[in-house]
Structure 1
Amino acid sequence: MDVFLGIRYAEPPFGPRRFAPPVRVDHSGDCLEFGPIPPQSARLPGAPVWRPGDEDVLSLNVWAPRAAEGCPVLLFLHGGAYTFGSSAQPDYDGTALARAGLVVVTCNYRLGFEGFGHVEGRPANRGLLDQRAALEWVRDEIAAFGGDPGNITVAGQSAGAASALFLATATAADGGPAAAGAVRRVIAHSVPNRCCTEGFARRVARWIDPSTPESAVASADAVARAQRSGPLGYDPVLFGPVADRLPALPAGVPALLAHTTAEYRLFDRVGTIAPVRTEAEYAAFGRAFALPPHVVAGYRELFPTASDAYLALLGDFVIAEPTTRLAEAHDAPLARFSRPPAWHASDVPFAFGTLAGADFMVGGPPGPAERALSRRVVASWARFARAGDPGWTGVRWWGGEVDVSATRALWRGVDLDVPVDHDVDGTGRRRG
């Protein structure tokens, strides 16, 4: 196994290059440790933290089988609400997938206001531009690591899954799936239906202090904490791609879709969404999101408590139902990950074979059953990246079948392709 960490693919996006498109750079020096991570306040277990002054944040990492030649390539885009995370998280170690015959690449990209905030006169969606630059680096350089530049699968989870759709669409527009460097296939786990209008991005930007990366991070955190009303009062996600909707999967680009069956239980557990415990709070939540009354009432009938109904409804509304619809529209295989706790991102250690040390995410120390399930998921990813076939069709249950027919029926006819255009509560610190 050959591992190369912290390979620079673009110049530091600061100083005169701040808020500008990425600028390609040829890496020089050792590739022995992960590069600095993009500006953020998150402190994730086992991962580095961002420190003011860290600027060389656009780097990628490669895992390759020893003496590899012409191997399928997997470029993985991490999640994190377009606001936090990095390729250095232990969950994303590419060793197991490389042992399965892939050349695995993970990358950092700009997050939060640096990557997705509105800056007058500067391009929107700079984080997506960074991902495009990373893909171009892979196209040009991956053969030297034993990868096949004509067989690139882009994978992602959560924000990374939606990013993979945007990246596949961008390269298809350049000449179709057969064009040099185009995305050949897509693996997308837990795709959030979260695109933002330009108006919403402008409203968020009014409360951000962009003077320095640290002031932008601090003010964005303050804005997120300030949300008390409307949808952002429940789920204060401030950044995302400025677009009318998620792109459809390009014709001729096979896809493998997946979601967990209790997505939002993670966010309740770690306290990043507002709790809903009473019937009155549950009703207020439905009104805030302008959800169809029959959907709100239907979930309450199906679940034992208002809290259970709230978490199930929000997870299905934002992630599970949009992901399922993508699979159906594209006639793509869909995996439903139901192994408890089955919350958001609990499937990632299984897909990467990184169960060791992931006790919280996977609900406890892994045993033989968990390791066997991980081997099946790793094999599905590897088979799909190699030839577009995960080894099964239709819907596959990873962890045990759950009846979702009643909840899915509630969404029939409900339009989910509506971009985020919410009001934003200010902090009083900045407005202009």
Structure 2
Amino acid sequence: MDVFTAKAGQVRGRRSGRDPGIVAVLGLPYAAPPFGADRFREPRPAQAWDGVRECTAFGPVAPQSAELPGSPAWSPGDEDILTLNIWAPANGAGSLPVLVWIHGGAYVFGSSAQPDFDGTSLAARGLVVVTLNYRLGFEGFGHVPADGEGPACPDNRGLLDQIAALEWVQGNIAAFGGSPGRVTVAGQSSGATSVACLMATERARGLFHRAILHSAVNACATVEGAARTTAEVAAAAGVPATRAGLLAASPQTLVSASDRIVDRYRHDPGSGQRHYDPAIYGPVADDVLLPSDPLESLAAGAGAEVELLVCHTTEEYWLLDAVGSSAKVTTERQLGAFARDFGLPPQLVDAYRDRLPDAGPVLDAYLALYGDLLFAEYSSRLAEAHARAGGRTFLSRFDRRCGGDGGRVRAWHCADIPFAFGNLHEESLHFLTGGPPGPADHELSHRMAGAWAAFATHGEPGWAPLSGGGEGGAVRVWCAAGEEARETGTFRDRWRAAGLPLLAP
């Protein structure tokens, strides 16, 4: 009957439409709705229920303005947003490795219901796959000032939601055939940085044993910076920047106010780093949950006991340009301003221009620089820091650039995820992957999904780990059959020759 007994009550799932040997349990609450008296608070346990709860449809998504292809949109009034989904083999096998997925979306959009993240194919490889929703935007990452009238509202509420989901997995996943002692937590973009933050915090210690980071993004705010963002958002919402004022503003009001702040930065070339891609929310180094940026924490040995697999794409930022979320930099003057805003020396810009002789346009040099600054270099340095601190670390790059009926496509941000999940068939994802997949694409997906499954199962994705010095060792490059891998996507020697620290926007 596909009925399972969790601690809060029984649930009924449904067979996957893609594979009747896989059961999907969807929209299962792992915490109480974070609204009303629980708004801006730590997540609280979900209430138990009587009878069998039907879990055959995804739960509501977190407050956001995005409407993503193939995914549900947020509806004001939806409150039961802290849910997760499970894909598991229906044959009753137990003690299977567990893969918990944390979606990306700049901490302001996305959900576990995106077709990219259907867990059917990975579950067919012998995993129990869990995906989850968590609070986004101001609800999840906005700083709420203390006012002395009740408990303080913690920063990093979205991370606390993720921890609550991992605690739920520890207490319940055995009922679905998974082993709580074999948990891998994985994510992409802001989801990957969330995973790095979980590695860095004591609150998540022991809740997972391996981690997969795809295209981690370089951003961690100070408490002071988060407070400045709160002041801007409160002013745009027309409420005081106080706990009471922010509680009086509806989630919809704060989403709209946040969007107006982002739009203002996007149209103001003089606004510094936030002009180029104004992501105003993210983890806060509050010295409570997070002592520091996760790169610094991993370098100091935090999470060294967790085996780590890191991947980034070689043309990350071309996607952000294609969807219009990044400022256009098309002149030498604009490129110079970008370099000054991020403290990049002229010789580094020149090195990128020299390395891209076939690209020519200023825009391509800007996209290469910015993609490496935010994603590729940050991901690589997380891997190197973890290895130097004694962690077992594997590094890879996604460099597939052509295939399918769409002709030439970029190895850009998010393009690797449908391959790793085995979801190339989804039509709504063809923008990412360049059209319907061909045989070489399916073969590449088979290899990538196999590496994920092998890492989650045995800690061995199929190539050698980085050396203890952090920079030696194998780096797997993912290409389709017949493609030739480029020398590197990060030009790391140029960054190191320039002696540059990474700059958080």
Superposition pairs for residues 214-233 of structure 1, below 5 Å? 214-227=252-265, 228=268, 229-233=271-275
- State the distance in 2 between where 1:10 and 1:185 align: 24
Query: Is 1:336 matched with 2:414?
Result: no
Shift of 1:114: 0.6
Q: Which of 487, 492, 495 is the aligned partner of 1:403?
A: 487
1:245 aligned onto 2:293 = yes
CA RMSD, Structure 1 to Structure 2 (Å): 1.5
Determine helix, strand or coil for the equivalent of 1:230.
helix
Aligned twin of 1:423: none
Partner of 1:15: 36
Partners of 1:419 and 1:280 in 2: how far apart?
23
Equivalent residue number for residue 425 of structure 1: none
Alpha-carbon distance in 2 for matches of 1:166, 1:24: 22
Which of 412, 416, 419 is equivalent to 2:501? 416
Q: Distance in 2 between matches of 1:406 and 1:185?
A: 25
Query: What is the aligned partner in structure 1 of residue 82 from structure 2?
Result: 58
Structure 2: distance between partners of 1:81 and 1:107: 16
Match in the other structure for 2:131 = 106
Unaligned 5+ runs, structure 1: 421-432
> Hey, what does 1:424 align to over in structure 2?
none
C-alpha distance in 2 between matches for 1:192 and 1:104: 24
Q: Tell me the equivalent position of 2:142.
A: 117
Give 1:401 deviation, angstroms: 1.4
Of 17, 23, 30, the residue aligned with 2:54 is 30
| TM-score (norm. length: structure 1) | 0.93
> How far has the Cα of 1:363 moved from its partner?
1.5
Corresponding residue to 1:47 among 71, 80, 105 = 71
Counterpart-to-counterpart distance in 2, 1:21 and 1:204? 21
**Alpha carbons of structure 1 residues 333 and 175: separation in structure 2 relative to 1, 3 Å:** closer
Q: TM-score, normalised by structure 2?
A: 0.80
1:416 offset after TM fit, Å?
Answer: 3.5
* Further displaced range: 332-341 or 203-212: 203-212
1:261 Cα deviation from its structure 2 partner = 0.2
Q: Distance in 2 between matches of 1:216 and 1:120?
A: 15
In structure 2, do the counterparts of structure 1 residues 300 and 12 end up closer, same or farther at CA, with 3 Å as the change threshold?
A: same
Q: Report the more deviating stretch, 384-393 or 21-30.
A: 21-30
2:266 equivalent to 1:266: no
**Which amino acid in structure 2 is aligned with residue 78 of structure 1?**
H
Task: Determine if contact 1:245/1:418 at 8 Å carries over to the other structure.
Answer: no
Question: In the TM superposition, what is the alpha-carbon distance from 1:301 to its structure 2 partner?
Answer: 2.6
Q: Is the Cα contact below 8 Å between 1:7 and 1:27 reproduced in 2?
A: no
2:378 to 308, 314, 322: 322
Asked if the contact 2:317–2:370 (Cα under 8 Å) also holds between the matched residues in 1, the reply is yes
Structure ID, larger Rg: 2
Matched, 1:291 2:312: no
Q: Which amino acid aligns with 1:241?
A: P
Instruction: Tell me the alpha carbon deviations over residues 139-191 of structure 1, each in whole angstroms, 9 at most, x when there is no partner.
Output: 00000000000110000001111111222333xx3696xx4xx2100010001
Q: Distance in 2 between matches of 1:9 and 1:95?
A: 21
Other structure's SS at 2:134 match? coil
* Paired residues of 2:372 and 2:490 also in contact (CA < 8 A): no
Select between 407-416 and 366-375 the one with higher mean Cα deviation. Answer: 407-416
Deviations 1:169-222 (A, max 9, x none): 33xx3696xx4xx21000100011111111221111112234010000000000
Residue number in structure 2 paired with 1:234: 276
- The one of 102, 118, 123 equivalent to 1:93 is 118
Partners of 2:47 and 2:186 lie apart in 1 by: 24
Per the TM alignment, residue 125 of structure 1 is displaced from its structure 2 partner at its CA by 0.5
Contact 2:163-2:203 at 8 Å conserved across structures: no
Whole-Å separation in 1 of the counterparts to 2:423 and 2:442: 10
**1:327 touches 1:334 (CA, 8 Å); kept in 2?**
yes
The equivalences for 1:302-317 within 5 A come to 302-303=355-356, 304-317=360-373
Partner of 1:6: 27
Tell me if 1:348 matches 2:348. Answer: no
Letter in 1 for 2:55: C
Query: 2: CA distance between counterparts of 1:137 and 1:26?
Result: 13
Calculate percent identity across the aligned residue pairs: 50
Question: 1:317 is aligned with what amino acid?
Answer: L
Question: Within 2, Cα distance between the matches of 1:361 and 1:39?
Answer: 24
Write out the 4+ residue segments of structure 1 that deviate beyond 6 Å after TM superposition: none
Matched residue count: 414
Deviates more, 1:320-329 or 1:228-237: 320-329
Determine if contact 2:27/2:59 at 8 Å carries over to the other structure. Answer: yes
| Alpha-carbon shift at residue 25 of structure 1 (Å) | 1.0
CA separation in 1, counterparts of 2:255 and 2:320?
21
User: Does the CA-based 8 Å contact 1:9-1:27 persist in structure 2?
Assistant: no
Instruction: Specify whether residues 405 and 320 from structure 1 end up closer, same or farther in structure 2 by C-alpha distance, changes over 3 A only.
Output: closer
